[in-house]
Amino acid sequence: MLALLVGSIVWRGVSGFMQMQVELPIIFDPTLLELPPGSYAGDVPVSSYQLLVKASLKAAFPEVTDRRELRDLYNLVSGNSGAVLRLALVKRPGRLGQVKNVWLPLASDADLYVKSGMKGNSKLNDRQIAWLKTCQEKRLLRTVFNVDFFTQGDSRAPERAGFLSAMLGSTLTLIVCLLVAFPLGVMTAVYLEEFARKGKFVDFIEVNINNLAAVPSIVFGLLGLAVYINVMGLPRSSALVGGMTLALMILPVIIIATRAALSSIPGSIRDAARALGASPLQVVWHHALPLSMPGIMTGTILGMARAIGETAPLLLIGMVAFVADKPTGFTSPATVMPVQIYLWASSPESGFAEKTAAGIMVLLVLLLAMNALAIWLRRKFEVRW
């Protein structure tokens, strides 16, 4: 069943990394762009460059004159084509007034239909299908790697949607999570294992730590919403709040893993250090912690791997909002990869289905890499007594 699940995700997700493009002869007409001589091409809005696309489509299909048919023809090309043309003219201003063949992305429905081999059901009408077949016969269609998936943020249009904003948001969130959970978890474990005297207070702490490890993740989201946002007034839907919320969730994991690593060190090492005059703090800092670091790192990485795949606690703190811009800091609005996948999966457009599968593939690769790193660290630095 696991192989079937992964296979279905890969089967659909591979097409999400590919993009269909059509080659059109674009006339970079300064009159259509309303671009005065000597002005900067980047100052012209994208909508003006979209006029160049429409003019090229009219020239390629001169028999299309009806307004409704023209609208169907224009809908075959992505609304992001204007931005592609503006970038091309900014890079090469000498193209102004010239005719150049430019590869432009297809719209989502046309993209899916061509990827399917032009078979099966489609939202395109017969005229649009005929135009696509004409382009295919003239070899004006090609398949390229979808670079925009890794360089653009989210969008309402499936062919424009990218995963970069979610990847940056996850990175910032995990940085905050690690900076909060790792030192606090290690210090707590060292205190409980090396310095705390056994008693009712310590037993109370240990029971609560073990119970926190089994608390549903959505409860931590409620805690983050109540404390960080409502009480402390931290910015909603930010990587700072998301990282601190996830830190509460993985803190018990780090504490338990660190205590297990510390308890696995033979007592003779501590006794030898004390016999040479080392203080209790020196025993821990120079002997116990370095020897237990492989186990600590393994537990931390596994905890971070759990945090990177969490969705429920982040939904409650507002990271489910539509975020098209890339986050610029820890307090700017952001989303994370699991939430972005959830948003795409709940979208009605069929083009987001392949985006969802592609996002799952990226997330699975990161999770496998983190787990593989944890295994490698444990095997490489593990000491058998």
Tokens representing 360 are 């799952």
Q: Tell me if 8 is assigned to some domain.
A: no
Tell me which of 115, 146, 177 is where a domain ends: 146
Q: Tell me if 3 is assigned to some domain.
A: no
Asked if residue 318 and residue 182 are part of one domain, the reply reads yes
pLDDT in tens, 56-103: 999 999 998 899 999 999 999 998 888 888 888 888 888 888 889 999
Highest mean pLDDT among 29-33, 123-127, 319-323: 123-127
Q: What is the mean pLDDT of residues 345-363?
A: 90
Q: Is the pLDDT of residue 349 over 80?
A: yes
Q: Give the per-residue pLDDT at 365.
A: 92
Q: Is 333 helix (H, G, I), strand (E, B) or coil?
A: strand
Q: What is the mean pLDDT of residues 1-29?
A: 89
Q: Is the pLDDT of residue 383 over 80?
A: no
Q: What is the mean pLDDT of residues 5-22?
A: 89
For tokens 């075959």, name the residue. 76
Asked if residue 180 and residue 317 are part of one domain, the reply reads yes
Q: Is 309 helix (H, G, I), strand (E, B) or coil?
A: coil
Count CA atoms within 13 Å of residue 197 on its CB side. Answer: 1
Asked if residue 178 and residue 42 are part of one domain, the reply reads no
Spell out the residues 6+ positions from residue 384 whose beta carbon is closer than 8 angstroms to its own: none
Asked if residue 179 and residue 67 are part of one domain, the reply reads no
Q: Is the pLDDT of residue 173 over 90?
A: yes
Tell me which of 146, 172, 196 is where a domain ends: 146
Count CA atoms within 13 Å of residue 349 on its CB side. Answer: 20
pLDDT band, residue 177 (cuts 50/70/90): very high
pLDDT in tens, 237-250: 899 999 999 999 99
Q: What is the mean pLDDT of residues 12-25?
A: 90
Tokens representing 348 are 């009605």
**Burial state string for 57-71 with b = 16 or more CB within 10 A and e = fewer than 16:** beebbeebeeeebee
What is the pLDDT of the chain when averaged over all its residues? 88
Tokens representing 364 are 């699975």
Tell me which of 96, 119, 146 is where a domain ends: 146
Q: Is 320 helix (H, G, I), strand (E, B) or coil?
A: coil
| pTM across the whole model | 0.86
In terms of C-beta distances under 8 Å and separation of at least 24 residues, what long-range contacts does 365-369 make, across chains too? Answer: 366/308, 366/337, 367/305, 367/308, 367/309
Domain membership of residue 84 as a residue range: 19-146
Q: Is the pLDDT of residue 121 over 90?
A: no
Answer with the residue of higher pLDDT: 377 or 218.
218
Q: Is the pLDDT of residue 385 over 70?
A: no
pLDDT band, residue 106 (cuts 50/70/90): very high
Rg (CA), the chain: 28
Q: CA 194 to CA 385: how far, in whole Å?
A: 19
Q: Tell me if 14 is assigned to some domain.
A: no
Phi and psi, residue 376, nearest 5°: -65, -45
pLDDT band, residue 139 (cuts 50/70/90): very high
Q: CA 101 to CA 91: how far, in whole Å?
A: 15
Cα separations in angstroms, 139 against 132, 135, 254, 346: 10, 6, 57, 35
Strand order in the sheet with 18-27: 99-105, 18-27, 141-145
Q: Tell me if 138 is assigned to some domain.
A: yes
- Among 302, 128, 165, smallest CA distance to 239 is for 165
Asked if residue 236 and residue 100 are part of one domain, the reply reads no
**Structural domain count, the chain:** 2
Q: Give the per-residue pLDDT at 38.
A: 67
Q: Tell me if 1 is assigned to some domain.
A: no
Q: Tell me if 152 is assigned to some domain.
A: no
Q: CA 2 to CA 6: how far, in whole Å?
A: 6
Asked if residue 345 and residue 204 are part of one domain, the reply reads yes
Asked if residue 191 and residue 221 are part of one domain, the reply reads yes
Asked if residue 365 and residue 324 are part of one domain, the reply reads yes
Q: Tell me if 271 is assigned to some domain.
A: yes
Q: Give the per-residue pLDDT at 197.
A: 84
Query: Cβ atoms within 10 A of the Cβ of 218, count?
Result: 14
CATH number, residue 279: 1.10.3720.10
Asked if residue 130 and residue 169 are part of one domain, the reply reads no
Contact criterion met (CB below 8 Å) for 352 and 155 = no
Q: What is the mean pLDDT of residues 325-344?
A: 89
Cα separations in angstroms, 370 against 34, 51, 366: 52, 47, 6
Asked if residue 180 and residue 36 are part of one domain, the reply reads no
Q: Tell me if 9 is assigned to some domain.
A: no
DSSP code per residue over 30-85 = HHHHT--TT--GGGS-HHHHHHHHHHHHHHH-TT--SHHHHHHHHTTB-TTHHHHH
Q: Is the pLDDT of residue 298 over 70?
A: yes
Asked if residue 224 and residue 103 are part of one domain, the reply reads no
pLDDT in tens, 260-283: 988 888 888 888 988 988 888 898
Q: What is the mean pLDDT of residues 161-171?
A: 91
pLDDT in tens, 194-229: 888 888 888 888 888 888 878 888 899 899 999 999
Asked if residue 129 and residue 183 are part of one domain, the reply reads no
